[in-house]
Amino acid sequence: MNETLIPEPALQADMQQAGAGRLVAVVVTYNRLAKLKVTLARLLDSPAQELASLVVVDNASNDGTGDWLAGWAAEHPRVDVVTSTTNQGGAGGFALGMQRAMEAHTPDWLVVMDDDGRPEPGGLAAFHAMGQSGALAHWDAVAAAVYFPSGEICEMNRPSRNPFWSLGHFISTARKGRDGFHIPRRAYDGGLSAIDVTSFVGFFISAAAVRRVGYPDPKLFIYGDDALYTLGLSAAGGRICFAADVRFEHDFSTFSNGDSGQRFRPLWKVYYHHRNLLLLYRQAAGWLFWPVLLLILPKWILKVRHHPGVRRAYLRLTWLAVRDGLLRRLGRSHGEVLAEARE
């Protein structure tokens, strides 16, 4: 782990001029060195007044990431590498990185992302422009507009309103399905939109909000930790907006393109995806969770058709996810999940 970096007085003055104040990035990586290199280079394209420090959490990678980061960080004084002895998943990585950023780098704001997510050129400047205009004074967190490298909207990073908190949003969701649950596509044309839930790709959160709600739950491992965290922030009175002018890209590849985007690769992700979704639906829906459960379970079971050759393992993982999710059990080890994923 690098020593805490204290900016020189002149650099401190420059950073104080940034519209949003002192911004610190948190990036979590595991065995994706090629994508990590692109993300880190993009971040450090931003000057120090836009990005004061960069915390990189290496989740016990075994592909040479650690050695590369050690050499690279020595050449870039804004970088602080935190190495975990075990793979804690995105949830544990973000908890570790956000805590490091808060304790060692005195941020006004954090921005978090996976190793395959990164700001588009000018993305951080657009965020600081919100500070210069005074817009940030009305918000505790900001969600970027996330696109695939091809330029299409990245659906998995499309923010949402909680339909169970508003009759109008509930009716819209019932009528329009996914388009009713998520913000409309026209929101990407410009301006700010109030939201309740978003992802950890291009998620900006004020230090004051972090102090209010704490850090993501490491026991979630992957999937849903971001949605549960941001929904919890909203439930605590936090104000989150979607900012169309703050653009990020996400080079995402969990699903196989050959199966209409419905096949999980690797298969063990089935467990975390469904378990944590149950936790999210329960937190969002309250007493309406049980009728919602009757609607979603058949859809999850039918996805077995997208997993030829591993269908028994898919169903086994889904069953374990449902059982653990309903019982709110978060103690199953990753080793156990890997064992259950074997056909």
pLDDT tens by residue, 157-193: 999 999 887 655 555 555 555 565 789 999 999 999 9
Residue 6 has what pLDDT? 32
- Whole-angstrom distance, CA of residue 169 vs CA of residue 180: 7
Confidence tier at 1 by pLDDT (50, 70, 90): very low
- Whole-angstrom distance, CA of residue 38 vs CA of residue 150: 16
- Whole-angstrom distance, CA of residue 107 vs CA of residue 100: 11
pLDDT tens by residue, 116-132: 999 999 999 999 999 99
- Whole-angstrom distance, CA of residue 40 vs CA of residue 36: 6
- Whole-angstrom distance, CA of residue 179 vs CA of residue 201: 20
Residue 202 has what pLDDT? 98
Helix (H) or strand (E) holding 147: strand 141-147
- Whole-angstrom distance, CA of residue 234 vs CA of residue 135: 18
Element counts in the chain: helices (H) and strands (E): 13, 9
Residue 3 has pLDDT above 80, yes or no: no
Instruction: Indicate the average pLDDT of the chain.
Output: 90
Tell me the pTM.
0.89
Residue 169 has what pLDDT? 57
pLDDT tens by residue, 201-239: 999 999 999 999 999 999 999 999 999 999 999 999 999
Q: How many CB atoms lie within 10 A of CB 342?
A: 10
Confidence tier at 4 by pLDDT (50, 70, 90): very low
Q: Please name each of the domains of the chain with its CATH number.
A: 9-250 (3.90.550.60), 257-340 (no CATH)
Residue 254 has pLDDT above 60, yes or no: no
Residue 126 has what pLDDT? 98
Q: How far apart, in Å, are the Cα atoms of 153 and each of 29, 138, 165, 249?
A: 23, 26, 26, 9
Task: Give the pairing of strands 23-29 and 192-195.
Answer: unpaired
